[in-house]
């Protein structure tokens, strides 16, 4: 057995031992990775505001305004390419997207637009003090839940 | 032979009478509630902690509509479909005509005013552990809730689950008068235990069930299959739920995880209830969860 063959054999063995997870991440369609990424950006920016609302960080008008503007920017991303058919949790691993999304697309779009409207409302208030920001953040969280309640599977 | 048969028949008769007697629905009387008077303000806090609206408000109700307990939500289970009844203040279609003793009998005995068993989809198994003062307060709060004339729909259960009397046998096995967590707890976690085990009935979803649908106390809050869809209900034991006490309490208030993901599924409605509690009570619930034994 040559050095090269041994190396390949060992690599294959190693891949077997590690199991399917790393391969799975690579197999996740780009569209799924992209939409998960957009939700992570949303969570990061909501976190900036949410921590101020909770009092775990100090309120900062400029940072709050930036975070709210980022949420508005995300809400304006056209979602056409993020949700191809066959990327639901019954068809592939690595997503919690329920098949119901594709059965109720008009409702999903309405819910996404509701997020946009709430984010715009938040953007108008985010720099106007902690209480104003906190009051406008609640409705944004409500629009997240409204969609997750119906269209995202539990862990 | 004839003699043996007679003895057998007599034994069977005695057994049947005994079975009938021990499966008889229990009742709480006015005398049991003697000296208690209800405070509707205190009852509001009990109402939200007990989560009544999550099952008995109309499907999809939000905001003030959650105070109209018209029923109609459908709960699919292995035994059939349970349909939440109208428990609004309507005198005919709801429970507006009940006495306080009938109300407490329902909550703590699982017994209807007509003397029938309720099915344990209704968590009287948890409310049984509640302080009677709290339930009398709850009834006082109830008097100010709206009435709905929506008729209650029957459950859709197959045989043998359609036999209500059989719930009496189930109650013999599963109706308990003690808390599950009996370890020494701080005063805060003890308050949390009361909120979780007696009122909020978190275990109904977060604890797995045995073959007869009883909660598996040995796997308390260890997570369970999702009763209403795909996926699993996550475990709440501290080995799995690693959020801090403050993070758990904040999640129960604003619905955001420590990563600022939002709650989904049935927790959306639960958080709408929990957000109505005091900060101290949400922290107490979190303290109790942090004190749970890992399975």
Domain spans of chain A, in order of start:
3-151
Say if residue A16's pLDDT is above 50.
no
Say if residue A21's pLDDT is above 60.
no
**Closest by alpha carbon to B76, among B253, B225, B196?**
B225
The nearest alpha carbon in chain A to B261 belongs to: A43
Domain spans of chain B, in order of start:
26-174, 208-290
Chain A residue set in contact with B, beta carbons under 8 Å: 39, 43-44, 46-47, 50, 53-54, 56, 89, 96, 98, 138, 141, 144-146, 148-149, 152-155
Domain covering A3-151 in this structure, CATH number: 1.20.120.10
Say if residue A111's pLDDT is above 70.
yes
**Tokens representing residue B247 in the block:** 């993070």
CB contact under 8 A, A141 and B265: no
pLDDT given at position A2: 52
Distance between CA atoms of residues B179 and B63, nearest Å: 32
Reduced 3-state DSSP string for chain A = CCHHHHHHHHHHHHHHHHCCHHHHHHHCCHHHHHHHHHHHHHHHHHHHHHHHHHCCCCCCHHHHHHHHHHHHHHHCCCCCCCCCCCCCCCCCCCCCECCHHHHCHHHHHHHHHHHHHHHHHHHHHCCCCHHHHHHHHHHHHHHHHHHHHHHECCC
pLDDT given at position B66: 97
pLDDT given at position A27: 81
Average pLDDT of chain A, as a whole number: 86
Cα distance from B174 to chain A (closest Cα, Å)? 28
* Section A123-143 average pLDDT: 95
Chain A residues with CB under 8 Å of B268 CB are: 145-146, 148-149
Say if residue A36's pLDDT is above 60.
yes
Distance between CA atoms of residues B90 and B227, nearest Å: 30
pLDDT given at position B20: 72
ipTM of the complex: 0.76
Q: What is the mean pLDDT for each group of 10 consecutive residues in chain B (295 residues)?
A: 69 72 86 95 98 95 94 92 97 97 98 96 97 98 97 93 92 95 97 98 96 94 83 92 97 94 86 96 98 89
pLDDT given at position A148: 87
Say if residue A91's pLDDT is above 90.
yes
3-state secondary structure of B64: helix
Paired residues of B232 in beta bridges: B225
């Amino acid at each position: 057995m040559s050095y090269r063959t041994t190396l390949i054999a060992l690599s294959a063995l190693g891949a077997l031992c590690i199991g399917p997870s790393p391969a799975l991440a690579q197999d996740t369609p780009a569209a799924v990775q992209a939409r998960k990424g957009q939700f992570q950006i949303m969570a990061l920016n909501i976190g900036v505001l949410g921590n101020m609302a909770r009092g775990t960080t100090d309120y900062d008008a400029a940072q709050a305004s930036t975070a709210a503007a980022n949420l508005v920017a995300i809400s304006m991303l056209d979602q056409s390419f993020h949700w191809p058919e066959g990327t639901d949790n019954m068809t592939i691993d690595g997503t919690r997207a329920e098949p119901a999304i594709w059965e109720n697309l008009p409702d999903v779009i309405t819910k996404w637009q509701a997020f946009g409207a709430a984010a715009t409302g938040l953007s108008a208030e985010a720099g106007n003090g902690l209480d104003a920001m906190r009051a406008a953040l609640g409705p944004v969280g409500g629009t997240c839940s409204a969609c997750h309640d119906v269209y995202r599977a539990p862990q | 032979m004839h003699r043996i048969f007679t003895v057998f028949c007599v034994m069977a008769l005695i057994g049947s009478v005994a079975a009938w007697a021990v499966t008889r629905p229990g009742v709480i009387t006015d005398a049991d509630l003697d000296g208690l008077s209800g405070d509707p303000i205190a009852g509001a806090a009990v109402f939200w902690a007990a989560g009544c609206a999550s099952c008995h408000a109309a499907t999809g109700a939000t905001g003030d509509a959650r105070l109209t307990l018209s029923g109609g939500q459908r709960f699919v289970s292995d035994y059939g479909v349970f349909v939440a009844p109208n428990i609004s203040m309507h005198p005919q279609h709801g429970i507006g005509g009940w006495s306080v003793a009938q109300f407490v009998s329902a909550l703590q005995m699982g017994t209807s005013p007509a003397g029938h068993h309720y099915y344990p989809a209704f968590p009287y198994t948890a409310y049984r552990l509640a302080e009677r003062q709290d339930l009398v307060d709850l009834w006082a709060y109830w008097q100010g809730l709206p009435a709905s004339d929506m008729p209650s729909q029957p459950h859709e259960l197959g045989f043998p689950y359609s036999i209500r009397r059989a719930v009496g046998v189930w109650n013999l096995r599963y109706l308990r008068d003690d808390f599950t967590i009996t370890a020494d707890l701080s005063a805060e976690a003890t308050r949390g235990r009361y909120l979780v085990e007696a009122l909020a009935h978190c275990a109904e979803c977060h604890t797995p069930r045995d073959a007869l649908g009883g909660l598996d106390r040995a796997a308390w809050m260890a997570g369970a299959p999702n009763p209403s869809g795909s996926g699993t209900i996550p475990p709440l034991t501290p080995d799995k739920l690693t959020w801090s006490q403050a993070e758990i309490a904040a999640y129960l208030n604003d619905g955001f995880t420590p990563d600022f993901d939002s709650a989904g599924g049935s927790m959306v409605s639960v958080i709408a209830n929990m957000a109505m509690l005091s900060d101290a009570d949400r922290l107490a619930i979190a303290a109790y969860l942090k004190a749970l034994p890992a399975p």
